[in-house]
Amino acid sequence: MKLATIRLADRTAAVRVEGDLLVEIGPPDVGAVLGSSSGLMDAATAEGRAHPAADAVFAPLVPRPGKVICVGLNYQRHIKEMGRDLPEYPTLFNKFAETLIGSHDDIQRPNETESFDWEAELAVVIGRSVRRADEASAVAAIAGFTVLNDITCRDWQFRTREWLQGKNWESTTPLGPYLVTPEEVGGPRPALGIRCEVNGRVVQQDTTGDLLFDPVDLVRYISTMVRLDPGDIIATGTPGGVGHARKPPVYLRHGDTVITEIERLGRLENRVVSDGA
């Protein structure tokens, strides 16, 4: 099953993908679907107004997640090519809901940065509350997967040892367009092609099968310290090819187009604009 959150003239709506149509299923967004008592059960059969998919304007898949938890240094080939040892534990940081934008919204490039970078990522969407998950409960807690780009201000990120200040600029992080349930992609540990293009040039290309800590591992680890709730997002890390690691470094500028795509999950296409433009 595929779900999305779309913008209409006076509201947002959660929809189910049915071929070339998007069928309203009742709640205002996918976060509300996951937070309802029936979760995804009713979403599979609910019937409402249908909209042509070609005309859709997508909001962030989950507009106001309680938590967006991100993982750094999680693709094995990327870690090794940087000459680092594989970490024993995931590197975690968080993003705020205010960073999120829709799959075709403009990315707001802050005037305060000179090092604006891309990071294509597989995102895990939580479908039920879980704390101190074992293997089975971690699998059951995963509602599905979506696409995210953790756009980053590198100069701010590396001002200190903590990364939060480089990762939390308003309206910089596209999320969506679809929630795709695990059975559609081979289960809770999908091995899917992931790529990022900037102005038509492929800058990142890998497979999510190379993740060191896979989605189930991350749900187990994170839920040990804090309860994960429906609608929470886990961004699983980015493969090699980021602009900051290039020689010389390459960064995003006003007018650039960033395409982030994961096999069977969907595609983000976003234009970079100067903040306030």
Query: Are both 14 and 95 inside the same structural domain?
Result: no
Query: Are both 5 and 141 inside the same structural domain?
Result: no
How far apart CA 212 and CA 221 sit, in angstroms, is 13
Query: Are both 40 and 74 inside the same structural domain?
Result: no
Q: Which of 34, 59, 84 is the last residue of a domain?
A: 59
Query: Are both 38 and 75 inside the same structural domain?
Result: no
**Number of domains within the chain:** 2
Query: Are both 53 and 66 inside the same structural domain?
Result: no
Is residue 89 exposed (0-12), middle (13-18) or buried (19+ Cβ within 10 Å)? exposed
Q: What is the CATH number of the domain that holds 204?
A: 3.90.850.10
Query: Are both 120 and 179 inside the same structural domain?
Result: yes
Q: What is the CATH number of the domain that holds 16?
A: 2.30.30
- How big is the chain by its Cα radius of gyration, in Å? 18
Q: Which of 41, 59, 77 is the last residue of a domain?
A: 59
Give the ranges where the chain is alpha helix by DSSP (H).
30-35, 76-81, 135-141, 154-157, 164-167, 215-225
Query: In the numeric block, which tokens belong to residue 116?
Result: 């604006």
pLDDT digits (tens, 9 = 90+) for 82-105: 678 889 999 999 999 999 999 999
Residues 6+ apart with CB under 8 A from 145: 122, 123, 124, 125, 179, 180, 182, 185, 190, 215, 262, 265
Lowest-confidence range among 71-85, 161-175, 230-244? 71-85
Query: Are both 199 and 71 inside the same structural domain?
Result: yes
Query: Are both 160 and 227 inside the same structural domain?
Result: yes
* Owning domain of residue 10: 1-59
Query: Are both 154 and 245 inside the same structural domain?
Result: yes
Query: Are both 146 and 256 inside the same structural domain?
Result: yes
pLDDT bin (cut points 50, 70, 90) of residue 39 is confident
For residue 132, what is the DSSP state? S
Query: Are both 118 and 140 inside the same structural domain?
Result: yes
* Helices and strands counted in the chain (H then E): 6, 18
User: Are 26 and 67 spatial neighbours (Cβ–Cβ below 8 Å)?
Assistant: no
Query: Are both 102 and 212 inside the same structural domain?
Result: yes
> In the chain, pLDDT over 90 holds for what percent of residues?
92
Give the DSSP per-residue string, 210-239: GBSS-HHHHHHHHHHHS-B-TT-EEE----
pLDDT digits (tens, 9 = 90+) for 236-271: 999 999 999 999 999 999 999 999 999 999 999 999
Q: Quick count: other Cβ atoms within 10 Å of Cβ 200? A: 7
> In the chain, pLDDT over 70 holds for what percent of residues?
99
